[in-house]
């Protein structure tokens, strides 16, 4: 008899198979900040050459990056985002938003965003594409979609590189705390399960098909960093459930944008496996990221940024996403 486990099809799971790796997120972060060539990427990410080379190959195989020549004599290449890679931009903005709210502010670069559509500095805001209201996790409802099915999880083997997000020169760090969480595929899958109302260890284990030892470690780590709290639900024997803190609830837009990206590039012909409803307006949710000043959706080509490499130093770079 087969002992393989099956889990519900999930666009977040498919998205995390591509980007649920801290080293990959550091490469994408560096690319968004203008690093295109191998040495530029190595200097900004701090990754060893073999690891960087391996992750670049993975991103090209996934269709997120493409290798284009910038010199013919000698022949040299740079790495640029494809249309699929640019589709992760809203996820990146939500990661930046969360990092500013919940990550440590000392010893890292800061960025000022400007929306060319209205000309003002702005903060990215997750919003409902129908009513324009800001998205809050507590105001969302979900139901099974036409593409819901069951699949055997084939988790690709990868080493944990959680600490690579912080073990960099201070002048290279932008997204460290959030990169540790989103880059840890298991942790993000645990949060996804709890957002759908599964709070007990066995429920989360069944939903994710994560090995029990890995699940225990991730639950403990998420509690340590203030994303989860343990609440007793039985005293004989002592048993606990895991509840989201406000810090974790504010992480919801990141998962939401990963879900949308996964629905775009990995959905089945029948449709998405999950349907979301924005309760304040009652419409099926189409999430967008809007400018905090003019409330209009922002696109990568409509955003410029100014980088200050460390507190107290003048900005030294300006770029367009």
Chain segment 94-123, per-residue pLDDT in tens: 999 999 999 887 777 888 999 999 999 999
Is residue 68 included in any domain, yes or no?
Answer: no
- Average pLDDT for residues 131-147, to the nearest whole number? 92
- Number of DSSP helices (H) and strands (E) in the chain, helices first: 12, 15
Taking the C-alpha atoms of residue 153 and residue 168, their distance in angstroms, rounded to an integer, is: 33
Taking the C-alpha atoms of residue 122 and residue 117, their distance in angstroms, rounded to an integer, is: 11
Q: What is the CATH number of the domain that holds 257?
A: 1.10.10.10
What's the pTM?
A: 0.88
3 state DSSP class of 81? strand
Percent of the chain with pLDDT over 70: 88
Strands 7-8 and 150-151: antiparallel
Tokens 């083997």: give the residue: 157
Q: Is the predicted pLDDT of residue 316 greater than 80, yes or no? A: no
Span 67-97, pLDDT tens digits? 999 888 888 999 999 999 999 999 999 999 9
Q: DSSP for 18-78?
A: HH-BHHHHHHHHHHHTT--SHHHHHHHH---HHHHHHHHHHHHHTTSEEEEEEEETTEEEE
Is residue 124 included in any domain, yes or no?
Answer: yes
pLDDT of 159 reads 52
Span 214-263, pLDDT tens digits? 999 999 999 999 999 999 988 888 889 999 999 999 999 999 999 999 99
- Average pLDDT for residues 187-195, to the nearest whole number? 92
- Average pLDDT for residues 2-28, to the nearest whole number? 83
pLDDT of 154 reads 61
Instruction: Please give the DSSP secondary-structure letter assigned to residue 104.
Output: -
Q: Is the predicted pLDDT of residue 152 greater than 50, yes or no? A: yes
- Average pLDDT for residues 194-202, to the nearest whole number? 93
pLDDT of 109 reads 83
Is residue 215 included in any domain, yes or no?
Answer: yes
pLDDT of 160 reads 54
Is residue 62 included in any domain, yes or no?
Answer: no
Between 185-195 and 252-266, two packed helices, what is the crossing angle to 10 degrees?
A: 100
Between CA 235 and CA 204, with CA 209 as vertex, the angle to 5 degrees is 30
Give the pLDDT band of residue 162 (cuts 50, 70, 90). low
Is residue 4 included in any domain, yes or no?
Answer: no
- Closest CA relative to residue 11, chosen from 287, 292, 316: 287
Between 252-266 and 11-19, two packed helices, what is the crossing angle to 10 degrees?
A: 90
3 state DSSP class of 12? helix
Is residue 69 included in any domain, yes or no?
Answer: no
Tokens 């890679």: give the residue: 85
Give the pLDDT band of residue 156 (cuts 50, 70, 90). low
3 state DSSP class of 144? strand
Which one has a higher pLDDT value, 173 or 31? 31
Q: Taking all residues of the chain, what is their mean pLDDT, rounded to a whole number?
A: 87
**Count of domains observed in the chain:** 1
- Residue 266: CA atoms inside 13 Å, Cβ hemisphere, count? 21
Is residue 290 included in any domain, yes or no?
Answer: yes
Is residue 20 included in any domain, yes or no?
Answer: no
pLDDT of 317 reads 40
Domain that includes residue 100, residue range? 88-147+156-320
pLDDT of 258 reads 95
């Amino acid at each position: 008899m087969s002992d393989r486990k099956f889990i519900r099809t999930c666009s977040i799971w498919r998205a995390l198979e591509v980007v649920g790796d801290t080293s990959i997120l550091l490469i994408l972060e560096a690319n968004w900040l203008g690093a295109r060539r191998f040495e530029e990427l190595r200097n900004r990410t701090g990754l060893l050459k073999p690891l960087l080379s391996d992750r670049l190959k993975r991103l090209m195989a996934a269709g997120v990056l493409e290798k284009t020549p910038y010199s013919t004599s000698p022949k040299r290449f740079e790495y640029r985002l494809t249309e699929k890679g640019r589709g992760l931009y809203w996820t990146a903005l939500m990661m930046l938003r969360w990092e500013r709210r919940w990550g440590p502010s000392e010893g890292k670069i800061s960025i000022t965003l400007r929306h060319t559509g209205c000309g003002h500095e702005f903060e990215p805001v997750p919003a409902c594409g129908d009513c324009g209201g800001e998205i809050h996790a507590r105001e969302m409802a979900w139901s099974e979609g036409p593409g819901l099915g069951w699949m055997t999880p084939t988790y690709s083997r990868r080493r944990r590189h959680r600490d690579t997000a912080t073990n960099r020169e201070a002048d290279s760090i932008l997204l460290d705390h959030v990169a540790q969480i989103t880059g840890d595929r298991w942790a993000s899958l645990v949060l996804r399960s709890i957002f759908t109302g599964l709070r007990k260890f066995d429920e989360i284990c069944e939903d994710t098909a994560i090995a029990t030892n890995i699940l225990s470690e991730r639950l403990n780590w998420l509690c340590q960093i203030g994303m989860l709290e343990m609440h007793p639900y039985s005293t004989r024997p002592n048993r606990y459930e895991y509840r989201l803190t406000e810090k974790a609830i504010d992480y919801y837009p990141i998962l939401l944008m990963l879900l949308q990206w996964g629905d775009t590039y990995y959905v089945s012909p029948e449709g998405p496996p999950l349907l979301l409803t924005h309760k304040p307006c009652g419409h099926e949710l189409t999430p967008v990221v809007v400018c905090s000043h003019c409330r209009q959706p922002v696109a990568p080509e409509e955003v410029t940024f100014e980088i200050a490499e460390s507190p107290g130093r003048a900005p030294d770079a300006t770029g367009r996403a």
